[in-house]
Structures are given as C-alpha cells and as structure tokens.
Structure 1
Amino acid sequence: MRLKLVNLSELWKMKLRTEIKIHKQEREISHQDSILLMGSCFSDHIGNKLKENKFDVVVNPLGIAYNPISLHQHLSLDYFQLNKNFEDIQLTDELYYHYDFHSKFNSFTKEDFVVHVEKAYQAQLEQLNKKPIVFLTYGTAWVHELKSNQQITNNCHKQPSTLFNKRILSVKEIVNSFISMKKKLESEYGHSFSFIFTISPVRHLKDGFIENQLSKSTLNLAIHQLCSNYKNCSYFPSFEIMVDDLRDYRFYNEDLLHPNDTAIKYIWKQFSNAYFSEKTNKYVQQIEKINQSLHHRPFNIHSEANQKFLKKLKNDIKQFSTESNIDFSEELEQLEDQVLPF
C-alpha cells in the first residue's frame, strides 16, 4: 500500500479553526468614558486590561456576583436597602458575613464589615454618578435560595447545603430583574445607561456538564431578549470565543475551566476591535509600549545608558499625555524619583 504524500502548500491553506466575526459596535468606548464592570471573575480580567490601558474603571466594587439577580441587586442598591441588609449580617466561626456580599468583606467585627461594605458602595456610587458604560458579566443561571426566606444568595459562604434550595433561574426572571434595575437607575440618576453584556467563558462544571450548558443557554436567551428590546444594550461573545474559536485546552489554566493569559489577551484584542475606535486603539498600542518600558529592569539603574532611557521615556510620556489628554501623573512621578539630578 502506497502512502499518499501531503502537499505542504495545501496544508497551510486548510482552515483549522472557526473564527468568530465580531461586528464593530455603534457605541464606541474612548478614554473619555467611565466604565463600571460587574459580575463574575471574568469582569476582573477585562477590567484589569482596561485599567492597564488608562481607562477610568471601577471593577466589582461590591465583590464578584455570578448570578444575574445578585448582580442586578448590587447595581440597584440604595442606602435604605444597604442599611436593611446590615440587619441580616451573619456570624459563624468568629467571622461576620452576609449572603449578599463576597467573602472579601468578611470581618472579625460587625463594625469592620459595615465599614468595608460602605466604602465599596461609595466607590460604586461615585462611578455611577459619572454616567458610565456598564459592563455586565453573567456567570451562571443556577442560584441558591435560603430555605428560611427564599432569598437568592450571592455567596453561600461555605454554609451547610441543608440551608439552601438550588434551582435555575428562568429567562423571564432574569429579564424582569434587569428591567427593574434599569428603571431604578434611570429614575435615580435622571438618564439612561449603556450596557454591554457578556457571558463568562468559565464553565461551572460543579453544577454538571449538561447543567452548565442549560445555564449558559438560559443566560444567552435572556441577554438576546434584552438586546433585541433595548438599543443601549449590546452583547460581546466572550463565551463563544472561548468555546468555539479557542476550543483547545492549551488556552485554559491547569484546572481546564478558566481561560489562561493567552486566551484573555485574545479575547481582550477582540473586545478592543469591537468597541474601540481607530484612534482609541492607537492610544492603547502606545500605552502598552509605555507600560512595557516602565516595567523594564536595567542591570544598573545608575548607568548613563539607563538615565538616558529614563529621560527619553519621561519626555515621550509627557508628550503623549498632552496629545491624548490621558493622565500619567503617577508614572511621571515614579520616573522623577529614578532620574538622577545631573
């Protein structure tokens, strides 16, 4: 039997992956915009990229929220509801916590817990007052309800499973919850907000493989309905990019669930192309070069070559800051401390 030789030129022409074509969005993001990102841990990834590139960003001030109901409750929280929540602070193993808030707020005293949450809430209010673009990452449609009062919890804080009922949200519940939150924000702030939805590319396999797919599909149906009904809502397909475009385990962390740095950079690039103007993308490229230079670690910080490098970098940043109207005062102050006076 004769083996058929493979033509390498034909091999290179083969389509080996399914790339997702993402259309340019009408609502572009610039460095003049403020952005509030809330939801699952994937919001942290995108938020950190935006921070690195000098955007005005606040990320998950009240902590990570995986399900849409808890996320909407965080966004629509007011002082009255916040103080009412403080009446339900729990104490277990000498730690104070609340089922609506992330474990990062857990404290040894009730007073410390209240102070930490109030500070985070104030940061959210300040960002909302800037009329930000709101980026929402839905993680799962599965929720845990307290049996005692049917309250949907944001975080179970490792309490016994016998305290909760587990169920999946309906599309109607998610849609109605978002609409209520949206109306409350518009009433309180006197204007509409632009929303960008995405579904976390992290698979929640503790719920089960089939259950995870059911959850993600429910979230997708709810978002589709909202984006179809509201012009100020758009969808960025981070989940689809991960499971269809980057459908290989080399793009995952060791847990085979979370996207690794390569995947996050790829998704960030797709997000940039979809939501940034050509001008903003050029600014981002320049900022990435500046950040790379700022992280440069010379062999001898006092050498003449390094001092010339620092002075040039400082002048380049000043010029770019003036042209772009982007604040680099913190970076310039750090460089000032490194440049020798000669």
Structure 2
Amino acid sequence: MGSTFFTKVQIPSFEWKTDYKTPCLFTGSCFTENVGGKMAGLKYPVDINPFGILYNPVSVANGLRFLLQKKKFTENDLIRHDGLWHSFFHHSRFSSPDSGSALQTINSRIESSAALLRNAGFLFLTFGTAWVYEYKLTGQTVSNCHKIPAKEFRRFRLTPGEIVEKYRQLLSEIREVNPRVKVIFTVSPIRHWKDGAIENQRSKATLILAIDQLVRDFGDEFCNYFPAYEIVMDELRDYRFYEEDMIHLSGSGINHIWNVFQTAFIEEESLKISKEVQKIMAATSHRPFNKFTKEHLHFLRQSLQKTERLEEKFQYLTLAVEKRHLQKQIAEIEKHIRD
C-alpha cells in the first residue's frame, strides 16, 4: 500500500553478493562513509576511505593508483600550511603538526588498504562532484585545498569523456591484480549547493553519464551502478529525510538507502548473522542507570555467552573487541559486589 505514495526506483538485479567472509573497499565522498560505516558497525570486513573523504573522480582514481603502486609518501609529497603538514591527496584528517606522524599515518594506511584491494570481493566507488581544483604551482588535482587561498588553484568541471578516459586504464589494472573484484559505482545524493542548483545538476549528470559509459565498456559482469542518487531524488522527495542544512541526509534517509543496499548486495545468511551482531553491539553500548546490580551482571554474562557462541559458530566473525568490553564490565561489577 505504502509504495503507491512515491515513485519507486528499480534496483538492478545484481548477480553477486557480499558476506562476512568477503573484504570490501569503500572510497569516495562522505556518502561512502554512511553506507560503509553501516557495514563496519555490523563487523563486516570493510576498509573505508583510506585517503579520507574524496569528492571528485580524479582524486578517487589517484588514491586507487597509489594503492596499486603501494606508494610510500615522503616529506617531499607534503606541504606545510598554517602549522600543519598536509597531503594534497588526503583529507585533512591525515594532517599533523609533525611531518613524521603524518607520513606514518598515511603510509601505514596505504600498506593495509593496498593488501585489502588485492583480496577484495567488492570495490565501492562514490563520486560526489565533477568539479576539481588544480594546484597552479604543480598542475596537480587536489583532494583537499587545506584552506590554502583559492587564488592558488584553478577550478573547473570535468567532462564525462575525461572521467571515462581516466578510469578505462585504471579499472583494467585493478582487474589484473584482482580478477575476482566487482566494482560498484554510486553518485552521492548529497548536493553541492554552493555551486547552485543548476551547476549541481550538471555536475551530477556528468558523473552519471561517465559511469554509464564505463559500465557499458566493461560489462556488468565486472562493474555496475547502484542508484543511491536516484533513490534520494525519487523515493525520498521530502525534507524530513534531510538534516537541518537541507543538504545532508538525515539518519532515516541513510537508513532507507542502507536497507535497499543490503538487500541488493548482502547474501541471506549474512543478513541473518548481522541481526545477531546488532544485538551484541546494542548490549556493549548499553548504559544502565546503575550498572552495579546483579540484574545487569546477568545481562552482561548472557551477552558474553551469545558473543562467544556466535563467534564459535561463524569463525570468520571477529568480535574480540566486544568480548573484551563485556569481560571488563563483568570483572568490574563482580569486584564491586565482592567488596
């Protein structure tokens, strides 16, 4: 009945599914973190944004190429501004007042993510905008301007052809190092409103056209498109699905897309397991008014038993952090009761 009150987006029938045994790499805009974060919260083996949030296709491609090369960044790859060392290829979360610390964080993340890419079952790429910033001094397309004055950059919009050309060779190289990987493109539904309504639409249209061409070129046995943008534009055409800024999605909007996503991409057994994992995560985050009670101790012991049984039954699950948390809480309460 409810479905008659909105236009339903037809989701492609994806032949492949992921599960708790399959590593997945998510990279791209902040929407990537919304969906990838849902999987991480349910303990799926995922790696999310090894270069931080990246908005444009060129920056996403640069990051992937560095993973293929297993690049080691040096101080020559950094720039110092406002007392911090930055990488133009990384989000500001990797910046640091100490160059050595920044390089340690950057290189350790590249090392682990490069290894995961070679074993990943899925690579999820989310493009946010076709607009890019080019650092005039070097001609380099940057992932983040790091508050350096705008006059030092050239800003322009990519064409669909430029994006396609960038990815034709890159996707071929990725398939060479990992023949089993499936690439799923999405376009972020979060609007870049500072460009205005018209330019935002032109930017999103550029991304959609480029992705369509890549899927046609490579075939849907290797890559495909998940219509997150279209779901928001057509199924969630109501400002109650947005935050107060009327641009970013609210929790209920993200949850709607997540439900569509997991139905499309996660196999049935793992969906059932995730419901049990969710109960364990709720137990570890539960904060009672008075935790030093026998009732709460009983609740924690039961939760620990469920965690151990689940991990024993599905040995590819990793719930060590949750077990340690529960064990620590149990020991603290037992000591309090004894004393």
For 1:264 and 1:310, the matched residues in 2 are separated by: 30
Match of 2:292 in 1: 302
TM-score (structure 2 length as normaliser): 0.90
Contact kept, 8 Å, 1:73 with 1:181, in 2: the verdict is no
Matched, 1:200 2:188: yes
Residue 52 of structure 1 deviates from its aligned partner by 1.0
Q: Which amino acid aligns with 2:5?
A: L
For 1:241 and 1:286, the matched residues in 2 are separated by: 28
- Structure 2 gaps, min length 5: none
1:158/1:284 CA distance change after superposition, 3 Å = same
Q: Percent identity?
A: 33
For 2:258 and 2:133, the matched residues in 1 are separated by: 31
Match of 1:109 in 2: 98
Q: Which amino acid aligns with 1:329?
A: A
Contact kept, 8 Å, 1:24 with 1:275, in 2: the verdict is no
Match of 2:164 in 1: 175
Q: Which amino acid aligns with 1:257?
A: I
Contact kept, 8 Å, 1:170 with 1:218, in 2: the verdict is yes
Q: Which whole-Å deviations, capped at 9, do the CAs of 1:257-280 have from their partners, x for residues lacking one?
A: 100111111111110111112212
Counterpart selection for 1:95 from 84, 89, 95:
84
1:288/1:99 CA distance change after superposition, 3 Å = same
TM-score (structure 1 length as normaliser): 0.89
1:3-42 to structure 2, matched below 5 A, reads 15-42=4-31
For 1:225 and 1:103, the matched residues in 2 are separated by: 32
1:309/1:181 CA distance change after superposition, 3 Å = same
Residue 105 of structure 1 deviates from its aligned partner by 2.0
1:184-195 to structure 2, matched below 5 A, reads 184-187=173-176, 189=177, 191-195=179-183
1:119-130 to structure 2, matched below 5 A, reads 119-130=108-119
For 2:2 and 2:77, the matched residues in 1 are separated by: 62
- The 3-state SS of whatever aligns with 2:243 is coil
For 2:42 and 2:67, the matched residues in 1 are separated by: 31
Contact kept, 8 Å, 2:70 with 2:114, in 1: the verdict is no
For 2:166 and 2:324, the matched residues in 1 are separated by: 46
Match of 1:243 in 2: 233
Q: Which whole-Å deviations, capped at 9, do the CAs of 1:185-229 have from their partners, x for residues lacking one?
A: 344x35352111111111001112111100101111111112223
1:315/1:85 CA distance change after superposition, 3 Å = closer
Q: CA RMSD in A?
A: 2.3
Greater alpha carbon shift after TM alignment, 314-323 vs 76-85: 76-85
Residue 110 of structure 1 deviates from its aligned partner by 2.9
Residue 81 of structure 1 deviates from its aligned partner by 8.6
- The 3-state SS of whatever aligns with 1:198 is strand
Q: Which whole-Å deviations, capped at 9, do the CAs of 1:167-187 have from their partners, x for residues lacking one?
A: 111111111211222233344
1:1-342 to structure 2, matched below 5 A, reads 15-77=4-66, 82=71, 86-187=75-176, 189=177, 191-230=179-218, 231-325=221-315, 326-339=317-330, 340=334
1:309/1:108 CA distance change after superposition, 3 Å = closer
1:112/1:14 CA distance change after superposition, 3 Å = closer
Contact kept, 8 Å, 1:143 with 1:153, in 2: the verdict is yes
For 1:320 and 1:80, the matched residues in 2 are separated by: 38
1:299/1:160 CA distance change after superposition, 3 Å = closer
Count matched residues. Answer: 330
Residue 84 of structure 1 deviates from its aligned partner by 7.2
For 1:81 and 1:317, the matched residues in 2 are separated by: 36
Contact kept, 8 Å, 1:24 with 1:273, in 2: the verdict is no
For 2:328 and 2:136, the matched residues in 1 are separated by: 58
For 2:303 and 2:245, the matched residues in 1 are separated by: 40
1:30/1:200 CA distance change after superposition, 3 Å = same
1:297/1:64 CA distance change after superposition, 3 Å = same
For 1:66 and 1:57, the matched residues in 2 are separated by: 20
For 1:148 and 1:126, the matched residues in 2 are separated by: 33
1:79/1:36 CA distance change after superposition, 3 Å = closer
Contact kept, 8 Å, 1:95 with 1:107, in 2: the verdict is yes
1:313/1:92 CA distance change after superposition, 3 Å = closer
